[in-house]
Amino acid sequence: IRVTLTPIHRREFGITGTIAVLQDVTEQEKLEASRREFVANVSHELRTPLTTIKSYSEALDDGALDDPPLASRFVGVIQNETGRMIRLVTDLLHLSRLDNKEALIRMQQADVLEMLEDVADRFSFQMQQKDIRSEVRVEEGLQKALCDRDQIDQVLDNLVSNAMKYTQPGGSIAMEAAGAPGNLLAISVQDTGIGIPKKDLDRIFERFYRVDKARSRSMGGTGLGLSIAREIVLAHGGTISIQSELGQGTKVTFTLPLAANEGVAT
């Protein structure tokens, strides 16, 4: 708590009293601390690939270029790390646009079955390669969703890409949609993967929070996928939550507004 004291002067009497202002600064300080942590995280995340790029290009310069197979491996590493930096910066820009409310949400009616089947199609090659089955279930007669299709596609891509990353071959991913109370629609992405420990669940939507940093990096993750998904869902007026059982699987559910009933009699 910050205390500010201001004396009250009266010309003929001198100081006649004091005004004390008590200000609760805990929220402000928390915000500052999380801002500092974010900057430290971004710097670290960018520094790691830069250091790798620097050392591999030095190694090429120091003679590795004369050994073509080795050189081509090193170039591969450099390309990988550059790719990671591009993903990271793209994610950061996206988050910053969402934070500044610059990302216009263009609400349109969207067919939920089509939306989910399209995601399954986008990932079908990877799923086949990894021997992961996918399933789409949509409640019969479900109305259309009211959403920005591009943005919600990004949410679904992030969730399915996580489900793929953290599910072993032979597992499965189910995407489901059903009506929810309050004229909403709930969409969930459920996997049979490695799951998330209980102690991490509360913090999993925080920027750069990962259960296992090394694993996430080796999978090409930026640690921002779930934070971006959450910001997009909140911008739609929805909510997002996660349930997970270690070793059993994970289920992420988010809500969206339903479009008004089309069948208005004329």
Binding site for ligand ADP (CB under 6 A): 158, 162-163, 166, 191, 193-196, 204, 210-212, 216, 221-227, 250
Identify each DSSP E strand in 72-194 by its residue range.
108-110, 133-138, 145-147, 172-180, 184-191
Q: Minimum CB separation from ligand ADP for residue 231, in Å?
A: 11
Q: Minimum CB separation from ligand ADP for residue 153, in Å?
A: 16
Cα–Cα nearest to 46, from 19, 81, 97:
81
Name the 3-class secondary structure at 17: strand
Cα separation, 63 vs 74, in Å, equals 12
Choose between 64 and 103: whose C-beta lies nearer to ligand ADP: 103
Residue 179: CB atoms within 10 Å: 14
Choose between 230 and 236: whose C-beta lies nearer to ligand ADP: 230
The values of phi and psi at residue 23, to 5°, are -120, 130
Choose between 227 and 255: whose C-beta lies nearer to ligand ADP: 227
Choose between 111 and 206: whose C-beta lies nearer to ligand ADP: 206
Q: Minimum CB separation from ligand ADP for residue 143, in Å?
A: 28
Choose between 40 and 104: whose C-beta lies nearer to ligand ADP: 40
Q: Minimum CB separation from ligand ADP for residue 88, in Å?
A: 10
Cα separation, 66 vs 76, in Å, equals 16
Cα separation, 101 vs 250, in Å, equals 30
Choose between 149 and 217: whose C-beta lies nearer to ligand ADP: 217
Q: Minimum CB separation from ligand ADP for residue 95, in Å?
A: 11
Q: Half-sphere exposure of residue 48, counting CA atoms within 13 Å on the CB side?
A: 17
Cα separation, 211 vs 95, in Å, equals 21
Q: Minimum CB separation from ligand ADP for residue 147, in Å?
A: 20
Choose between 144 and 165: whose C-beta lies nearer to ligand ADP: 165
Q: Minimum CB separation from ligand ADP for residue 168, in Å?
A: 11
Choose between 146 and 164: whose C-beta lies nearer to ligand ADP: 164
Tell me if 95 sits within 8 A of 207, measured CB to CB. yes
Cα separation, 166 vs 161, in Å, equals 9
Cα separation, 15 vs 43, in Å, equals 51
- CA–CA distance from 17 to each of 7, 12, 174 (Å)? 6, 13, 68
Structure tokens at 140: 């019969």
Q: Minimum CB separation from ligand ADP for residue 161, in Å?
A: 8
